[in-house]
């Protein structure tokens, strides 16, 4: 193949360009990455629904470098690519990878006119620019030829429909969206279109040839089923109005208060200190890796804190509690410091992020190790009327920011829910096996195993222009 044939092949075949120019013959794009690039080159509107760490960012970077080198509008003029992400810093991942290609391939650098963090201009006039698509951003006034939206599931519908899409009206812009399933938003709607206006390319984790299978399976063992299915199996979460499904709660809330239980080996406490509502304390016992509710104490908000603390101390004495966590959001910092020194209890201020973690941990206990749509429940609670009402009604409201707000409905309470979740968290915190790549450890210090599995060969770079 002579020089002209090589250049022509690079222009027409992105996979060939990536392998021989960007990767210096050391690797190739996967079949799904090639399918996505072909769709992006030829389609008017493309949606890529990819699993986490599935190579979509790398694919976008390869595509963008190729477009900067060879792309042009239908009228033959230079083209302008705009990348939008929920926040500006997220665009740094794609832009950083593009810059990395330029920095390691001298040929590319020779065709670049301007190289800035969020903006690149080539000598042929083609440009790429990264922008934030947050609610506070100003994305109007631009006329991109290509609209790229990364992590589109985290961009609000208002910004998507009112600001981003109309910017391509003058140019008839091609639209490319990449993301991971979430709730019922614009990305979900795209996935259901069957009229041919949108080409959807989907890749679940088991279709990704370079993903670490053992790592994903470890994530699966720790993640709630719906979240794993969304992030790794490309399934959208559509039942999001309440935190817990009725089907799961029906197999968790089954104990009578006076029911005879197996002998417990250890106990965990969760508490919600009330300022205007009542204070609630839950005790969970452990038998063969399963949690059983053994006690619930409810105290009026008008009780003095001395009486409340006396109740906490009596619970620790009665059950020999291993670990306890109390919500002090409503009463202020330092309240837990009034408890006796050495008592294994901590206080927490419950942010939305922490509530999300607690919900995930509770869901995993509720689902257990069962596959598909069944349950192998690891936690069992009382059939108390108020407990049931609070759990069945606890709301999970999606905010415009993309985050979830967990709260009780107007006129009701969630102090029992919070106490139960904190008791479960106290157990999880004490027994969690951490996993960082190939290294695992137990939070309680029971074991430590180092299993190096990741090769660092990808850090080496060869000069692509030396003679082979």
CATH number at residue 400: 3.30.420.240
Is the residue at 229 inside a domain?
Answer: no
Sheet with 439-442, strands from edge to edge, namely 433-436, 439-442, 448-450
Containing domain of residue 178, as a range?
3-212
Task: Note whether 181 and 293 are same-domain residues.
Answer: no
Question: Which tokens is 347 given?
Answer: 């206080």
Is the residue at 388 inside a domain?
Answer: yes
H or E, element range at 398: strand 395-398
| Confidence band of 286 (pLDDT split at 50, 70, 90) | very high
Q: Of 62-71, 241-250, 432-441, 447-456, which gets the smallest average pLDDT? A: 447-456
pLDDT on residue 156: 84
| Confidence band of 67 (pLDDT split at 50, 70, 90) | very high
Checking if the pLDDT of 456 tops 50, the result is no
Task: Note whether 208 and 266 are same-domain residues.
Answer: no
Strand residues in 166-265 grouped as ranges (E)? 174-179, 199-203, 253-255
Q: Of 180-189, 300-309, 390-399, 436-445, which gets the smallest average pLDDT? A: 436-445
330 or 417, which is more confident: 417
Is the residue at 231 inside a domain?
Answer: no
Is the residue at 223 inside a domain?
Answer: no
Q: 118 by DSSP, 3-state: which? A: coil
pTM, full prediction: 0.58
Is the residue at 116 inside a domain?
Answer: yes
Is the residue at 221 inside a domain?
Answer: no
Is the residue at 112 inside a domain?
Answer: yes
pLDDT on residue 237: 64
The Cα 175–Cα 154 span in angstroms is 17
pLDDT on residue 401: 62
The Cα 399–Cα 420 span in angstroms is 25
H or E, element range at 106: helix 106-111
User: What do you get for the CA distance between the two ends of the chain, in Å?
Assistant: 14
- Phi first, then psi, for residue 146 (nearest 5°) are -130, 125
Q: What's the chain's length in residues? A: 468
Task: Note whether 376 and 257 are same-domain residues.
Answer: yes
CATH code of 152's domain: 3.40.50.300
Checking if the pLDDT of 362 tops 90, the result is yes
Task: Note whether 187 and 271 are same-domain residues.
Answer: no
Number of domains, the chain: 2
């Amino acid at each position: 193949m002579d020089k002209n044939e090589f250049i022509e092949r690079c222009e027409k075949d992105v996979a060939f360009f990536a392998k021989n120019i960007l990767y210096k013959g050391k690797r190739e794009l996967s079949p799904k990455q090639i399918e996505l690039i072909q769709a992006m080159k030829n389609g008017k509107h493309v949606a890529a629904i990819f699993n986490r760490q599935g190579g979509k960012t790398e694919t976008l970077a390869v595509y963008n470098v190729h477009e900067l080198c060879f792309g042009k509008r239908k009228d033959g003029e230079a083209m302008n690519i705009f990348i939008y992400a929920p926040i500006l810093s997220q665009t740094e991942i794609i832009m950083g990878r593009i810059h990395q290609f330029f920095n390691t391939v001298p040929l590319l650098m020779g065709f670049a006119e301007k190289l800035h963090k969020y903006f690149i201009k080539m000598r042929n006039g083609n440009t790429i620019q990264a922008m934030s698509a947050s609610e506070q951003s100003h994305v109007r006034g631009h006329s991109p030829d290509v609209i790229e939206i990364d992590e589109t599931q985290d961009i609000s519908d208002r910004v998507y429909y009112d600001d981003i899409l109309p910017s391509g009206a003058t140019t008839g812009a091609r639209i490319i969206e990449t993301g991971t399933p979430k709730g019922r938003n614009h990305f979900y709607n795209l996935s259901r279109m069957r009229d041919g206006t949108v080409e959807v390319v989907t890749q679940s984790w088991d279709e990704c040839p370079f993903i670490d299978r053992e790592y994903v399976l470890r994530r699966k063992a720790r993640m709630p089923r719906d979240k794993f299915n969304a992030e790794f199996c490309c399934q959208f979460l559509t039942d999001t109005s309440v935190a817990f499904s009725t089907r799961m709660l029906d197999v968790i809330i089954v104990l009578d208060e006076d029911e005879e239980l197996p002998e417990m080996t250890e106990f965990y406490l969760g508490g919600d200190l009330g300022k205007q509502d009542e204070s609630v304390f839950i005790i969970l016992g452990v038998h063969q890796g399963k949690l059983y509710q053994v006690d619930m104490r409810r105290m009026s908000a008008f009780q003095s804190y001395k009486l409340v603390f006396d109740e906490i101390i009596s619970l620790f004495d009665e059950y020999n509690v291993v670990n306890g966590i109390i919500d002090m959001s409503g009463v202020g910092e330092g309240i837990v410091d009034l408890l006796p020194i050495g008592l294994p209890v901590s206080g927490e201020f419950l942010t939305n992020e922490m509530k999300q973690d607690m919900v995930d941990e509770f869901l995993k206990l509720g689902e257990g190790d069962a596959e598909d749509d069944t349950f192998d429940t690891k936690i069992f609670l009382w059939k108390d009327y108020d407990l049931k009402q609070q759990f069945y009604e606890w709301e999970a409201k999606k905010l415009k920011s993309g985050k979830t707000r967990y709260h009780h409905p107007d006129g009701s309470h969630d102090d029992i829910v919070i106490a139960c979740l904190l008791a479960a968290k106290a157990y999880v915190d004490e027994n969690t096996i951490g996993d960082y790549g190939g290294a695992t450890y137990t939070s309680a210090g029971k074991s430590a195993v180092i299993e190096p599995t990741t090769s660092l060969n990808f850090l080496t770079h060869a000069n692509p222009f030396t003679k082979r």
